[in-house]
Structure 1
Amino acid sequence: MANQVYKETQTYRGTWVMYFILMVELPTLILLLVFFIQAEDKTEMGIALSVVGVTMSLILLFIFNLKLETRIDQIGVSFKFFPFVRSWRKYPREKIQSISVISYSPITDYGGWGLKGNSTTKAYSILGDKGLLLDIGEKKKIMIGTMKAKELEEYLSTWKEE
């Protein structure tokens, strides 16, 4: 186990969230196109269609590029949550007082998915209701979402023993 590394990458690509956004955006754009074709003032409707199209594209691009990466090795726990946390946040093994895989309620415990928190607790999650909870002392806790809870628990059982 000495050189084993746990890695996990989470995105919205290929998830129900991505398909839901597409199911909302495509009919909206089609409806606006129909209005554009029937409009008497094509300039005004063209501007509206462009603004809505660009806005929807930017939202889709933003969500498409969200990525939560987690890495655990013999040195410690690292993660980054692009585009909010661009460089790796590293927590050395010695600084971690406790580490465990938890089940949580995203809405009631942290106020939803994404980047959430206050001065004592931070949560970074994409989807799901499982996470890695780190207690790093000084009354600070960090929860990193995971979609591979069983694999992470197995890794942590041997990681803690080292």
Structure 2
Amino acid sequence: METEVLFRETQRFRQWWLWLILLIAFFVPVYNSVQKGKLHHFSFPQYFNFDNLIVFIVPVLAIALLLSCRLDTEITAENIRVRLFPFHLKFKTFSAKTIGLAYVREYNPLLEYGGWGLRLGLFGKGKAYNIAGNQGIQLVFKDGSKLLIGTQKPDEASAALQKGGYLKAEVY
């Protein structure tokens, strides 16, 4: 019998400023490359050399990576599962037996974890999987390690943690 999913969320990078930076990072080198080609009497075979190809491919790959990137989170009474696709093809599963405490909290992504994505926190903050915002599901494991999972649905996540029995503190 399959366990009831108490909470499910999928997040994607949607920050306008991030896409603006990527577009500028794409169009400025492309524009410069095209202008350089015009100065040297643009000819199709000479223009598409390795250097110019890199100018087009690297930004396109970065944009494709961010378009495909998503953070999937599931909470059940038995475990909490998280996947930062495409870095994790399979879910990372954290058994309720290993979690001492889980709760939703506000955090500062830049100061505590150095930004968004798959991050390693400073000063014992543990790891973080986050895409956007400043709300997260804080897991404190019985061995003392920590993991923060970003959420855009803090109230729903908190209700699921309570229903799943994660809010009672054990050893942490």
Fold shared by both chains (TM-score > 0.5): yes
Aligned to 1:159: 164
**8 Å Cα contact 2:96/2:166 also seen in 1:** no
**C-alpha deviation, 1:160, in angstroms:** 2.4
- Larger RCO: 1 or 2 (CA < 8 Å, sep 6+): 2
Q: Which moved more, 1:51-60 or 1:22-31?
A: 22-31
Equivalent pairs, count: 159
**8 Å Cα contact 2:135/2:154 also seen in 1:** yes
User: Secondary structure at the residue paired with 1:138?
Assistant: coil
Aligned to 1:25: 26
Q: Match for 1:115 among 118, 122, 125? A: 118
Aligned to 2:170: none
Aligned to 1:144: 149
Residues 65-122 of structure 1: per-residue CA shift (max 9 Å, x gap): 222110001221011112222211111222211001111111111122111227x611
Percent identity (aligned): 23
Q: Match for 2:66 among 63, 66, 76? A: 63
| TM-score (normalised: structure 2) | 0.79
User: Secondary structure at the residue paired with 1:49?
Assistant: helix
**C-alpha deviation, 1:150, in angstroms:** 2.2
**C-alpha deviation, 1:27, in angstroms:** 4.3
**C-alpha deviation, 1:30, in angstroms:** 3.3
Question: Superposed, which structure 2 residues align to 1:36-115 within 5 Å?
Answer: 36-40=37-41, 42=43, 45-47=47-49, 48-115=51-118
Gaps in structure 2 of 5+ consecutive residues: 168-172
